[in-house]
Copies of this chain bind each other. A is one copy, B any other.
Amino acid sequence: MSGKLFVIGTGPGNPDQMTPEALAAVAQATDFYGYGPYLDRLTLNAGQRRHVSDNREELDRAGAALRSASDGANVCVVSGGDPGVFAMAAAVCEAIDNGPPEWRNVELIIIPGITAMLAVAARIGAPLGHDFCAISLSDNLKPWDVIENRLQMAAKAGFVIALYNPISKARPWQLGKAFELLRAVLPAETPVIFGRAAGRPDERIAVQRLEHADATVADMATCVIIGSAETRIIARDGQTDLVYTPRFISGGNR
């Protein structure tokens, strides 16, 4: 008989942003699959086993977890943030879709979490207060020209844009190129938010104007949010400025 396969998100890393539902899943599982730093966020007991894999081995990890659950174990696949946003839930579904028939019998329980853009937005105001999109800037999984097209169409349509995976050692130039493309569409003063490790002790939130936005501020732990033409900054004395996108548009077709 198959075991259960939980897919959870830890949230961005602040333990108080992890839901009771996700913690209850952790309590039920014996075997944990994930990238080491995400597994490190969990408090496991002596009988619970960690199966650490590298950040880029999602499909192998999903297969290993499915095999174990199919053999009867209660298994937990651990993502940061929300498991459904550029994370393990899609990898597990891909593995089921292309795997042996018995993997379809595994009881799959996906548990939502706080994804990075929500945590970053909360720290700075309400930049996602109106229509928005989320784009992974990684061109490991899709051609760069698709990303360029999406950036341009999203900006032209008036979406606020949240960028996941903005930069890495192997992908050093893509974020700068994205800013360059967006400068051709959006006003120079459009706010750009660099939200690193939101809610964690090493949190760092910076706001720049698109005109001067500096891609080197971002690292792998950063979610970048680029405003729309409607996004505004509220200056405050003695407190961080707020960035928000109003809920309304008064004008006609953009």
What chain B residues lie within 8 Å of A242 (beta carbons)? 93, 96, 108
Secondary structure call for the A interface: mixed
From B87, B114, B145, give the contact of A112 (CB < 8 A).
B114
Q: Is A125 an interface residue (CB 8 A)?
A: yes
Chain A: interface size category: 35 or more
How far is A153 from B135 in the complex, measured between Cα atoms in Å?
Answer: 15
How far is A142 from B130 in the complex, measured between Cα atoms in Å?
Answer: 10
How far is A253 from B85 in the complex, measured between Cα atoms in Å?
Answer: 22
Q: Is A64 an interface residue (CB 8 A)?
A: no
The smallest beta-carbon distance between A37 and chain B, in angstroms, is 20
Q: Cβ of B16 and Cβ of A149 under 8 Å apart? A: no
Question: What are the interface flags for A143-174 relative to B under an 8 Å C-beta threshold, 1 for contact and 0 otherwise?
Answer: 10110011001101111000000000000000
What chain B residues lie within 8 Å of A18 (beta carbons)? 19-20
The smallest beta-carbon distance between A243 and chain B, in angstroms, is 8
From B19, B92, B132, B252, give the contact of A134 (CB < 8 A).
B132
Question: What are the interface flags for A77-114 relative to B under an 8 Å C-beta threshold, 1 for contact and 0 otherwise?
Answer: 00000111111011111101100000011011011111
Q: Is A223 an interface residue (CB 8 A)?
A: no
How far is A210 from B6 in the complex, measured between Cα atoms in Å?
Answer: 30
Q: Is A141 an interface residue (CB 8 A)?
A: yes
Q: Is A52 an interface residue (CB 8 A)?
A: no
Q: Is A24 an interface residue (CB 8 A)?
A: yes
From B90, B123, B149, give the contact of A245 (CB < 8 A).
B90
The smallest beta-carbon distance between A248 and chain B, in angstroms, is 4
Q: Is A202 an interface residue (CB 8 A)?
A: no
How far is A113 from B94 in the complex, measured between Cα atoms in Å?
Answer: 27
Q: Cβ of A253 and Cβ of B111 under 8 Å apart? A: no
Q: Cβ of A112 and Cβ of B121 under 8 Å apart? A: yes
How far is A153 from B149 in the complex, measured between Cα atoms in Å?
Answer: 11
The smallest beta-carbon distance between A245 and chain B, in angstroms, is 7
The stretch of A27-35, A65-73, A175-183, A229-237 that contacts the partner chain: A229-237
Known A112-B122, A157-B150: A84·B234 in contact at CB below 8 Å: no
Q: Cβ of B134 and Cβ of A234 under 8 Å apart? A: no
What chain B residues lie within 8 Å of A108 (beta carbons)? 125, 239, 242
Known A123-B110, A130-B90: A143·B253 in contact at CB below 8 Å: yes
